[in-house]
Amino acid sequence: MSLPTQTVSPTTLNAASSTPTLREAGRRSRYWLLAGGGALLVAVISTVLAAGGGVGGQPLEAGSAAPAGARALVEVLRQQGVTVNTADTLAEARSLVGAATDPTVFFFDESGYLTDDQLSTMSALAPRTVVASPDFLTLQTLTPPVGFGGVSSAEESRSACTVTAAVKADGLSPGGPTLTIPADAAGLTGCFPSGENAFALVEQVTADRTLTLLADGTLFSNERIGEAGNAALALNLLGPGDELVWYLPTIADVPGTGSPSLGELTPGWVTPTMILLVLVAVAAAVWRGRRFGPLVAENLPVTVRASETMEGRARLYARSSARLRALDALRVGAVQRLAGQVGLSRLASLDDVIAMVATVVDRPPADVRTVLVDAVPGSDSELVALSDRIQELERATARATTPLPPGRMDS
């Protein structure tokens, strides 16, 4: 008994497997690997540059060496024997002041984190408090009579007061914001005046506390501490005691108002990652997207006669009362034809054409210019009359430039 045999065609034997090899899979995904690697490299470089740029940090931060930081002033104070302690929250500032013998508080709240109650608590912590760049809430809470005085226009800023620190500084960098105090305000002293009742520094002295308001906190920054008497003012305001509490509020001082939002719970790397994915998707769409082919010429289904386009343009001119535009179209064609009739090239100027036509037809050039250039139609009848004059001028030119047959003489 013989077993049935199965015939296998050569095509079946030589057919390649439909399963891609590792090399083919790598070749197909090469673009995505390169794109992902490039995106990762850009993210790493951006992170390194942002971290090492040296321009970050909070303004007037005690340990920041950036131009807006205050590390230079803090280091000089420490060299003068002043212990500088930094505080990020009101509770931490209260703890540091409570442990000190004769403290001074330096306060700068750029983002306005503290409420009015917290500001009142802060101002009562130490016997001496220096507030840099106070905002509206700070002024209304601590010194209601004091307001904003705009930017100083004085070319030089001298102390002109009896405050010890201001007298030793003598002068500050000119310009910058100012504060105003009423003329009859009790317990308030203004220094470095600019205009009427506008000062760069205001000091309020009570029975047991001294509050100093510095309108421009950037005077104490690394970038400007060396100008004029800025350094002398800073050292005398912040260094009379042995300990200084450098208090810059943070988000931790903001009272909790409820559960955090989705944006607050989202890690910081999510947003840049999503942006990179969108950019990669757009690049892939541009790279692999379907492209339009070359333009294909296609014959028009109908042929439009020149007379129809001429009539259509004439109707448009008539509907919009564009008489001068219609006349200009007639004049352009007439000038081109006249240039050819009198033997001038297409590049000849209008004045040359007018002069040659006037010579040929034996007319004054002013008359020819009036017909071809200067006359402006005020009505439809005038437009028709001018068009007739253009046509008559062309006919006269044609007669003058056309040679007569032999044996014929015009009378």
Give the CA dihedral 349, 352, 358, 364, nearest 10 degrees.
100
* pLDDT over 50 at 16, yes or no: no
In a domain, 356, yes or no: yes
In a domain, 214, yes or no: yes
In a domain, 77, yes or no: yes
Q: Taking Cα atoms as reference points, which of 380, 283, 393 lies closest to residue 338? A: 393
Of 224, 252, 280, the one marking the end of a domain is 252
Per-residue model confidence (pLDDT) at position 404: 63
Per-residue model confidence (pLDDT) at position 114: 94
Same domain, 233 and 122: yes
Same domain, 149 and 220: yes
Same domain, 329 and 222: no
pLDDT in tens, 207-251: 889 999 999 999 999 999 999 899 999 999 999 999 999 999 999
Same domain, 209 and 341: no
Same domain, 226 and 324: no
| Beta bridge partners of residue 129, listed in sequence order | 105, 211
In a domain, 205, yes or no: yes
Same domain, 320 and 248: no
Same domain, 245 and 121: yes
pTM of the predicted protein model = 0.53
Q: Domain span at residue 325?
A: 312-401
CB atoms within 10 A of CB 45: 10
CB atoms within 10 A of CB 153: 11
In a domain, 10, yes or no: no
Same domain, 216 and 319: no
With beta carbons less than 8 A apart as the criterion, state whether 181 and 188 touch.
Answer: yes
Q: Give the Cα separation of 277 and 270 in Å (integer).
A: 11
Query: 13-17, 26-30, 102-106, 111-115: lowest mean pLDDT where?
Result: 13-17
Same domain, 93 and 172: yes
Same domain, 109 and 224: yes
Do the bridges between strand 147-151 and strand 157-158 make them parallel or antiparallel, or are there none, so unpaired? unpaired
With beta carbons less than 8 A apart as the criterion, state whether 172 and 194 touch.
Answer: no
Of 206, 235, 252, the one marking the end of a domain is 252
Residues 6+ apart with CB under 8 A from 209: 123, 124, 126, 127, 128, 129
In a domain, 49, yes or no: no
Same domain, 218 and 330: no
Q: Taking Cα atoms as reference points, which of 138, 143, 98, 96 lies closest to residue 118? A: 138
pLDDT in tens, 334-391: 899 988 888 888 788 989 989 999 999 899 999 989 988 888 888 888 888 988 999 9
pLDDT in tens, 110-121: 999 999 999 999
Cite the beta strand spans of 93-252 per DSSP E: 103-107, 128-132, 147-151, 157-158, 171-172, 177-180, 188-193, 198-205, 210-214, 243-247
pLDDT in tens, 278-295: 999 999 888 877 666 777
Q: Give the Cα separation of 326 and 132 in Å (integer).
A: 74
- The overall average pLDDT reported for the chain is 84
In a domain, 20, yes or no: no
Q: Which helix (H) or strand (E) holds 367?
A: helix 365-369
Of 252, 284, 300, the one marking the end of a domain is 252
With beta carbons less than 8 A apart as the criterion, state whether 148 and 199 touch.
Answer: no
Query: 98-107, 127-136, 180-189, 311-320: lowest mean pLDDT where?
Result: 311-320
Report the number of distinct structural domains present in the chain: 2
pLDDT in tens, 58-71: 899 999 999 999 99
Same domain, 369 and 231: no
In a domain, 17, yes or no: no
Could you tell me what percentage of the chain is helix, strand and coil, using 3-state DSSP and rounding each to the nearest 5?
45, 15, 40
